Structures are given as C-alpha cells and as structure tokens.
Structure 1
Amino acid sequence: MDKLKDLAILILMGGQNKRMKGQHKAFLNINNTSFLQTIISNIGQLAPIYISVNDASIVKDISYPVLEDVYNNIGPIGGIYSSLNRIPYKYVFVVGCDMPFISADIVQYLYNHIDAETDCTILSDNKGRLFPTAGIYSTSLIPKIEAQILSQNYRLYTLMENANIINIETTPLNLKNLININTPEEYQAILKIQ
C-alpha cells in the first residue's frame, strides 16, 4: 500500500490512565502484542508515525519521533496542538493509544474524504456520537486550537464546529474498529473475545 500524500499518523499517548488504575494503556497486550505495536502494525504502512506524550520518559525505547506536550494535563487537545505545530505535514490522522482495532481502511476512507474547506474529517455513529480520536486534522486548526487552549476550553468537540463528519454506519467501515479501552473491565472483555 502506498504512503498517503501529505499525511502523518499521530498516536496519542498522553493521559493519566486513572481509569486503568495507572497502567498505561499503550502497553496493554492483545494477542501478545502491545496496543501501541498493534496500532502501528495496523496503520503504520500508510504514513509516517509520530508519538504524542505528556512525559517523554514513558517511551524511552521507541524508535519513532516523540513529541512532548507544550501544555501539560489538558487532555488530547494538548497533544493534537503540540503535534500539528511540529509535524511537517498538512494533515495528521490522530488515534488514541487505547484503540487497538483501528484499521487502515478507516485511515484511507477518511483521507479520501478530506474536504479542504473543513478543519478535520471525523466519524460519527447513528446516535450522533463523534470519534475525535480517530480523525484527520489539518494544520489550519492551529490558531483555533491555540485560542481555545488560552481560553481554557479543552474540549475536543469544540474543534468540530467546522468538521467534515461522516456517519460510519453509512460506509463500508466497521464501527468495532473504533472501540477504545478505558477500564480494566473493558480490557478483560476484549481479551475474552480474542
């Protein structure tokens, strides 16, 4: 599969993992492989990989560029902002490190549906739930994110005001690929179905 032009992939590894009782979600295993390595295996062939962290010491042995948050402890928006400022590509596919089922099909589909008039391309479901940590963001968002952070609004949903939102349930894509793991119970549940 060819690399997608002017796109990078950002894996968000910030977060305090409170609901996982301090265990970092990127290093949970599924089929004897960490979530992080599973995500890289699933989509890494499409574009260069970058890792977003709030503390670089957690990823000492990673061979991908690591981008530390400029603003600490403000959630995913901090990692997206810090990375859009430093990654030399116009578009960045952002994925949470707790989404081990993410697929190349999703990245390719969103890439094929980038709308230059919008700031990001994301998926929703039939209930209107948005999936901002599996979407493509444009560098055009940088000034908006900066203004939002300075006003202490850290909600990703505010960034969706000028988004191209695609209902995944009207596409050939699989909603199960967007599952994210937040708690030990959710982790145990996915281990049982593997």
Structure 2
Amino acid sequence: MTLSALILAGGRGRRLGNMEKALMNCDGKSVLERTINVLDDIVDEVLVSVRDEEQENEFKAHACGKKMVLDSYSDIGPLAGILEGFKAAKGEYIFVTACDMPFIDPKVVELMFRCAEGHDAAVPLRPDGSMEPLCGVYRVGPMLPLIERSISSGKRFILAPVFELDDVVGVEMGRIRQVDPQLRTFININTFDDMDELNIC
C-alpha cells in the first residue's frame, strides 16, 4: 500500500509578523527540513503545500527535492492546501501535518497509519473529545470530494469534510502517550513566546 504525507506550509504566520514558520531554525535545520526527514522514513512520498510561486521559490532550498503543490484558491485557509495535496497524492492514505509542528514523533505517525487502515480516517482526540485534524491520516478517495464540496459550500474550517466521513477512528491521547509520553508531536508554534520557550529562531 502506497502511503503519502502532506506538510501544510502555505500559512502567512500573521501572529509572527508574517514570518515563514517553515523556515524557522530548529536544531540547525529549518522546521520544514526537519519534518520532511521524519516523514521520509515512513511514507512513499512527501508533498509540501505552498500558497504561490513566490513561496515555492523561497522554500526550494529547504524542500529536499519534494514536490510542492500550489493553492488554486486564495485566502480560504488550510483547506486550500489540503485540497491540492489530496489531488496530487499517489497514496491511498495520507498523513496531514502543519509546518509549525517541529517535534513530530515518527512512532505517532506510524500509529495513526495503523489506526486508519481499513477506515476513512484516524484522527487524534483531545481530552475534551475534540479532534486534532493536523496529525491525522485520511483515505484520499472518500475525503477528496468532501474537501471540494466543503470549499464550494463555504465551509472552510479544516474539520468540515472530516465530519462528513462515514468511518472515522478517534485515537485517544492515552494511546498516543504510549509512544510519545510527553505528546511533543502536538506542540505547535504560534507566537514569539512559543519560539523563545522552545529555543527556536
């Protein structure tokens, strides 16, 4: 079975003064390179979603030769990048993550793929029961038309198409802690305080 991964890198980082989060330095590498290196050992292809040609050119040196897909919709948020990634994916299943999550544990990615097999998706569940879509694995076939329908109907939040799937496995944090005890996979960088705390520049 062919497996894919999609890194969403098209955001504008407004809370960080429009800084490109994917290019932040983390242990001597850009966050984008670091994430690609983790995923490369697990999946058959890694795709990078960017918003336009200018960002594509800026990221080329950090994309490790991976295919970059460009948004065909402007200013509608992450669903635009998810749509293009799913269109381009060769795999039956695709792991979706964001470029501001620099500590993804490969064991978590592998767990999510195992949980998704034979289902439409596997998505982590937070303690309050809500879903964390940007560490989920999705079956491309049923998900793609739902993404397109969500965008065309104006439902532009990430979970809109996920809510329409027939067979979603919720993976509780307790199970994920068994392979990532500190849940570092879910750390994301949104503010300068986050950068300082994590020693990222």
Letter in 1 for 2:52: D
Q: Scaled by the length of structure 2, what TM-score is found?
A: 0.87
Gaps of 5+ in 2: none
Q: Separation in 2 of the partners of 1:132 and 1:145?
A: 13
Question: Superposition RMSD on alpha carbons, in Å?
Answer: 1.6
Letter in 2 for 1:128: G
Give 2:54's aligned residue: 57
Secondary structure of the 1:22 match is: coil
Kept in 2: contact 1:8–1:89 (CA 8 A): yes
Pair 1:35-2:31 in alignment: yes
Letter in 1 for 2:197: A
Gaps of 5+ in 1: none
Query: Which range moved further: 155-164 or 92-101?
Result: 155-164
Kept in 2: contact 1:8–1:50 (CA 8 A): yes
The 5 A counterparts of 1:112-151 are 112-118=114-120, 120-139=121-140, 140-151=142-153
| CA drift at 1:148 | 0.8
Q: Separation in 1 of the partners of 2:29 and 2:170?
A: 32
Kept in 2: contact 1:115–1:164 (CA 8 A): no
Give 2:71's aligned residue: 69
Give 2:111's aligned residue: 109
| CA drift at 1:168 | 2.0
| CA drift at 1:115 | 4.4
Percent pairwise identity: 26
The superposition leaves residues 133-172 of structure 1 with CA deviations (integer Å, 9 ceiling, x where unpaired) of 1111222111111111001111112233232111122341
Pair 1:177-2:185 in alignment: yes
Q: Separation in 2 of the partners of 1:148 and 1:168?
A: 28
In the TM superposition, structure 1's runs of 4+ consecutive aligned residues that sit over 3 Å from their partners are: none
Kept in 2: contact 1:125–1:169 (CA 8 A): no
More helix by share: 2
Letter in 1 for 2:195: Y
Letter in 2 for 1:22: N
